């Protein structure tokens, strides 16, 4: 069953009943001010950092679900009846309800008691504020007399402290209310130079800023005393829980409409000009007033909304497809690209499953996010690459996470996740292929953010590879460290007391346990390095000898042959010690025992090495890759996606760590960890098996799962990190939606490998590997400033194999669209078929 439907024309998902299985959310903001908003107006907002600069409060893991948000109440002043136009928090049944989640905005519409409302919420580009445009229409035959109450609860900035340190924070809240604007200025008197404000376009009947006065003690947001009585208390908060509520009176004749605008904003003042007058404790409002005035005008708000639409039109216009499959089209053209962008912005910080107070930006995660995002805003990808590389350590290893506000590596987690550096190689090479910005390799970047330690970015990449070469184990495979991509495979941490960290309580010397996954990843990244260096050697690309010497390499520039050799040595090691006969093994533990092998009773076959090794090219030509992928199909594939391993671990194994802590079927213990599924899709395309690649793509495609709403439960417009595996009682149920590497990797799998359009150093490759049932597809891809209109014909109904390509009407050899095309638009036509001879 469904809870809504897609409106592809408007790029919206339309939710048609408020009681979705879980709150179905959207994100507001794209630069520094962000918000999460659910289909019933739940959620919260923050400036840059969801932990340190949180504007409004949200109660995670609460009952009823989804408490805290951008609430409005309407009250019929004649009858005293009141309700929430977003259903929550009063849950008064509405006659009509609809929520439209769009690109950076959400519109909630409803109707009750003859009053129609529509609230459009979004963050104008370039601003640190959100607008709520509320339109009220009297659809009844008689005049109406309404009270409108707004309500938000301020968070006292540091969300962690706000939720824990009550002995302090019950005493620090401070407000100002001036000309109907509610200013939240907790801690402004001391070290903060920022405040929040909540403004309304109308004259107020009253206001509230004290939670207890507004709700009444022992009452909830579902029945605020002020709303019930229709009388605001007009009191100013001192300590306790500051809130913001405006009370507006609206009289509408039959058929009449009115718009009210609310602004929730964040503002910083210069440190030496915080107060007005200077010797007072009153906020200087001269700098914020013009902003408030501007956005309280509906023409300005409408213009800002139109600008936001244009922004997304431009971004999403960079890669569009029209294929025979509607699910593919809407994910590629709209939702998957959008989710990739959100993931890039948020990393894994703030969702309805990530509280915003946990981890910062992941090194591995952010590098992978970039793979799906780089063609959208390459400038931001560049900045992110340099930030990430600056948290790398001189050893070539990296801090596993860093804080977005300070950009410093996070010491609590530290380093030693031995796969980390290789993702930087993949991100940088993807960036250069997309942009041709070879100059980035010359950019000086420090290690561990230490001034004076800078080397060109290129040397960082050399150190990434060297890091693994310096850490090989007894079989010559890479040592795993704290974990590899699978954070929960902790072979050096024998954790036996509750609460101990599985990743950081390292109590083995780490010189034994090895990862076949990292070995495969190494082959992939060393081959990327070889390709990159080949081009530097050929000297055509601006990083000539003289330039590399200018940039202070402390390493010699290693020849491409070095990287090719390193890759093929590692490949031989995998064949000797990482191949199990029918699939790739997973690891060797601290006792040198194999994992992911026929020898194991549990954890006999894992998905990760099958995906990554075949992506790196292992066994593609000799049948072994096919064997590995057939084993995946036989042992791991389910109708809801491919599980991480089998058989699931039935109990906790001290020597394996967190992976065996989860009950069977969940998370890394044999859940469908969606992030890894696209690796298998890509691997299948390496073998030319487009039917199977696309079948796997469809199994986890959220749009294709829309009908399974009651089982899937999470949003049908974005990927979730996990779907419960076949060992779980809830097989098919999704969890942890939105912030997951699944977004970027599925985007890469479908756009670059199934549709087969991918950036390379020398041009745009068009090499589709599609379902044989397709008669073709069309796509538009902006690449290096040119617009490629790509038409693929598949008259013989094959999966793969380009037999002819035409560019602007002339036949061209091969299937690479070269770089030296004239500016403007080009028509690329491709025919798939069976090659003769």
- Shortest CA distance to 110 belongs to which of 137, 140, 132, 131? 137
HEC letters along 265-276? EEEECCHHHCEC
Does position 486 interact with ligand GLC (CB under 6 A)? The reply is yes
Of the candidate spans 361-369, 446-454, 575-583, 613-621, the one that interacts with ligand GLC by CB under 6 A turns out to be 361-369
From CA 464, how far away is CA 664, in angstroms rounded? 35
Of the candidate spans 142-150, 209-217, 225-233, 482-490, the one that interacts with ligand GLC by CB under 6 A turns out to be 482-490
Residues belonging to the chain: 837
Question: Which string of DSSP letters, residue by residue, matches 243-309?
Answer: EEEEEEEEEE-TT-EEEEEEEEEEEE--GGG-BSSTTSSSB--TTTHHHHHHHTSHHHHHHHHHHHH
| Unique residue bearing structure tokens 């209310």 | 177
Query: Which residue's C-beta sits nearest to ligand GLC?
Result: 487
Q: Which is nearer to ligand GLC, 333 or 347 (CB)?
A: 347
272: number of Cβ within 10 Å: 8
C-alpha to C-alpha distances, 220 to 224, 263, 352, nearest whole angstrom: 6, 24, 21
C-alpha to C-alpha distances, 311 to 30, 103, 318, 782, nearest whole angstrom: 10, 10, 12, 15
Q: Which of residues 328-357 bind ligand GLC (CB under 6 A)?
A: 348
Of the candidate spans 81-89, 181-189, 461-469, 479-487, the one that interacts with ligand GLC by CB under 6 A turns out to be 479-487
Does position 487 interact with ligand GLC (CB under 6 A)? The reply is yes
- Shortest CA distance to 391 belongs to which of 347, 424, 439? 424
Does position 520 interact with ligand GLC (CB under 6 A)? The reply is no
Which of 420, 487, 580, 589 is catalytic? The answer is 487
Alpha carbons within 13 angstroms on the beta-carbon side of residue 528 total 26
From CA 735, how far away is CA 720, in angstroms rounded? 6
Q: Which is nearer to ligand GLC, 56 or 349 (CB)?
A: 349
In sequence order, the 6+-apart residues with CB closer than 8 A to the CB of 165 are none
Of the candidate spans 62-70, 274-282, 362-370, 789-797, the one that interacts with ligand GLC by CB under 6 A turns out to be 362-370
Quote the least distance from Cβ 636 to ligand GLC, whole Å: 16
Q: Which of residues 668-707 bind ligand GLC (CB under 6 A)?
A: 668, 675
Quote the least distance from Cβ 671 to ligand GLC, whole Å: 9
Query: Are the C-beta atoms of residues 836 and 818 closer than 8 Å to each other?
Result: no
Residue span 728-747 as binding mask against ligand GLC, x where in contact by CB under 6 A, dash where not: ------------xx------
Instruction: Choose which of 22, 28, 488, 642 interacts with ligand GLC (CB under 6 A).
Output: 488
Quote the least distance from Cβ 488 to ligand GLC, whole Å: 5
Q: Which is nearer to ligand GLC, 28 or 722 (CB)?
A: 722
Q: Which of residues 433-472 bind ligand GLC (CB under 6 A)?
A: none
Quote the least distance from Cβ 580 to ligand GLC, whole Å: 22
Q: Which is nearer to ligand GLC, 362 or 481 (CB)?
A: 362
Quote the least distance from Cβ 697 to ligand GLC, whole Å: 19
Quote the least distance from Cβ 180 to ligand GLC, whole Å: 44
Enumerate the H helices of 23-88 as residue ranges: none
The DSSP 8-state label assigned to residue 9 in this structure reads T
Q: Which of residues 365-424 bind ligand GLC (CB under 6 A)?
A: 365
Does position 68 interact with ligand GLC (CB under 6 A)? The reply is no
As given in the structure block, the two tokens for residue 755 are 């549709």
Question: Which string of DSSP letters, residue by residue, matches 172-190?
Answer: T-BEEEETTEEEE-TTTTT
Count residues binding ligand GLC (CB under 6 A). 15
Does position 485 interact with ligand GLC (CB under 6 A)? The reply is yes
Quote the least distance from Cβ 737 to ligand GLC, whole Å: 12
Does position 362 interact with ligand GLC (CB under 6 A)? The reply is yes
396: number of Cβ within 10 Å: 23
Instruction: Choose which of 351, 443, 721, 794 interacts with ligand GLC (CB under 6 A).
Output: 721
Of the candidate spans 175-183, 484-492, 690-698, 758-766, the one that interacts with ligand GLC by CB under 6 A turns out to be 484-492
From CA 409, how far away is CA 668, in angstroms rounded? 26
Q: Which of residues 119-178 bind ligand GLC (CB under 6 A)?
A: none
Residue 487 falls in the annotated catalytic set: yes
Of the candidate spans 391-399, 509-517, 667-675, 826-834, the one that interacts with ligand GLC by CB under 6 A turns out to be 667-675
Quote the least distance from Cβ 543 to ligand GLC, whole Å: 31
- Shortest CA distance to 669 belongs to which of 661, 677, 678? 661
Quote the least distance from Cβ 397 to ligand GLC, whole Å: 15
As given in the structure block, the two tokens for residue 413 are 């987690």
Q: Which residues are catalytic?
A: 487
Chain residues in the site for ligand GLC (CB under 6 A) = 348, 362, 364-365, 485-488, 658, 667-668, 675, 721, 740-741
């Amino acid at each position: 069953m469904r809870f809504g439907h897609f409106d592809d024309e408007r790029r919206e998902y339309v939710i048609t009943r408020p009681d979705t299985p879980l709150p179905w959310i959207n994100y507001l903001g794209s630069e520094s001010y962000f918000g999460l908003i659910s289909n019933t107006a739940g959620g919260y907002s923050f400036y840059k950092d969801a932990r340190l600069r949180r504007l409004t409060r949200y109660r995670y893991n609460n009952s009823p679900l989804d408490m805290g948000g951008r609430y409005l109440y309407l009250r019929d002043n004649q009858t005293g009846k009141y309700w929430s136009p977003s259903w929550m928090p009063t849950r008064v049944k509405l006659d009509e309800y609809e929520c439209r989640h769009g690109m950076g905005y959400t519109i909630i519409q409803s109707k009750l008691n003859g009053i129609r409302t529509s609230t459009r919420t979004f963050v104008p580009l370039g601003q640190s504020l959100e607008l709520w445009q509320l339109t009220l229409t009297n659809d009844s035959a008689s005049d109406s007399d309404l009270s409108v109450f707004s309500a938000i609860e301020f968070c006292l900035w540091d969300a962690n402290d706000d939720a824990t340190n009550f002995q302090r924070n019950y005493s620090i809240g401070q407000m100002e209310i001036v000309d109907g604007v509610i200013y939240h200025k907790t801690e402004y008197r001391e070290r903060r130079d920022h405040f929040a404000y909540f403004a309304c376009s109308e004259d107020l009947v009253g206001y509230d800023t004290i939670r207890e006065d507004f709700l009444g003690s022992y009452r909830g947001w579902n029945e605020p005393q002020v709303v019930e009585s229709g009388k605001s208390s007009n009191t100013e908060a001192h300590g306790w829980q500051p809130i913001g509520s405006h009370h507006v009176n609206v009289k509408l004749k039959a058929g009449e409409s009115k718009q009210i605008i609310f602004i929730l904003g964040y503002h910083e003042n210069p440190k030496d000009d915080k107060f007005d007058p200077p010797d007072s404790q009153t906020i200087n409002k001269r700098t914020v007033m013009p902003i408030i005035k501007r956005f309280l005008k509906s023409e300005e708000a409408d213009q800002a909304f139109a600008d936001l639409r244009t922004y997304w039109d431009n971004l999403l216009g960079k890669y569009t497809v029209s294929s025979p499959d509607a699910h593919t089209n809407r994910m590629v053209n709209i939702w998957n690209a959008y989710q990739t962008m959100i993931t890039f912005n948020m990393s894994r910080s703030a969702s309805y499953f990530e509280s915003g107070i946990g981890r910062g930006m992941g090194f591995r995660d952010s590098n992978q996010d970039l793979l799906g995002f780089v063609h959208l805003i390459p400038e931001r990808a560049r900045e992110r690459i340099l930030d990430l590389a600056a948290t790398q350590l001189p050893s070539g290893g990296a801090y596993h996470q860093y804080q977005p506000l300070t950009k410093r590596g996070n010491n609590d987690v530290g380093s030693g996740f031995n796969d980390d550096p290789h993702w930087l190689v993949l991100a940088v090479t993807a960036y250069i292929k997309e942009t041709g910005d070879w100059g980035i390799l010359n950019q000086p970047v420090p290690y561990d953010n230490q001034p004076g330690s800078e080397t060109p970015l290129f040397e960082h990449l050399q150190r990434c590879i060297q890091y693994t070469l310096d850490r090989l184990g007894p079989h010559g495979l890479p040592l795993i460290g704290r974990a590899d991509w699978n954070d929960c495979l902790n072979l050096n941490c024998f954790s036996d007391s509750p609460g101990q960290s599985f990743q950081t309580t390292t109590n083995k010397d780490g010189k034994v346990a090895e990862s076949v996954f990292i070995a495969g990843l190494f082959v992939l990244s060393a081959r990327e390095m070889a390709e990159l260096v080949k081009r530097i050697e050929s000297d055509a690309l601006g990083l000539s000898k003289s330039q590399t010497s200018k940039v202070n390499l402390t390493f010699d520039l290693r020849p491409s042959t070095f990287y090719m050799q390193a890759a093929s040595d590692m490949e031989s090691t995998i064949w000797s010690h990482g191949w199990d006969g029918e699939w790739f093994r997973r690891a060797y533990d601290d006792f040198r025992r194999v994992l992911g092998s026929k020898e194991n009773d549990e954890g006999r076959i894992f998905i990760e090495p099958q995906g990554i090794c075949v992506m790196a090219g292992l066994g593609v030509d000799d049948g072994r890759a096919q064997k590995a992928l057939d084993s995946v199909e036989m042992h791991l594939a389910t109708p809801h996606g491919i599980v991480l391993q089998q058989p699931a671990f039935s109990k906790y194994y001290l020597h394996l760590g967190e992976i065996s802590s989860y009950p069977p079927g969940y998370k890394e213990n044999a859940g469908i960890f969606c992030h890894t599924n696209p690796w298998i899709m890509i691997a299948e395309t390496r073998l030319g098996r487009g039917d199977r690649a696309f079948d796997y793509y469809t199994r986890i495609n959220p749009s294709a799962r829309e009908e399974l709403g009651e089982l899937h439960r999470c949003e049908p417009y974005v990927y979730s990190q996990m779907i419960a595996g076949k060992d779980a009682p809830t097989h098919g149920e999704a969890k942890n939606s939105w912030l997951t590497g699944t977004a970027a990797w599925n985007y890469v799998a479908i756009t670059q490998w199934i549709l087969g359009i991918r950036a390379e150093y020398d041009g745009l490759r068009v090499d589709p590997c599609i379902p044989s049932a397709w008669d073709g597809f069309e796509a538009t891809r902006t690449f290096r400033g040119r617009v490629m209109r790509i038409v693929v014909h598949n008259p013989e109904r094959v999966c793969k194999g380009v037999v002819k390509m035409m560019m602007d009407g002339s036949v061209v050899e091969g299937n690479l669209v070269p770089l030296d095309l004239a500016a403007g638009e080009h028509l690329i036509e491709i025919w798939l078929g069976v090659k003769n001879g």
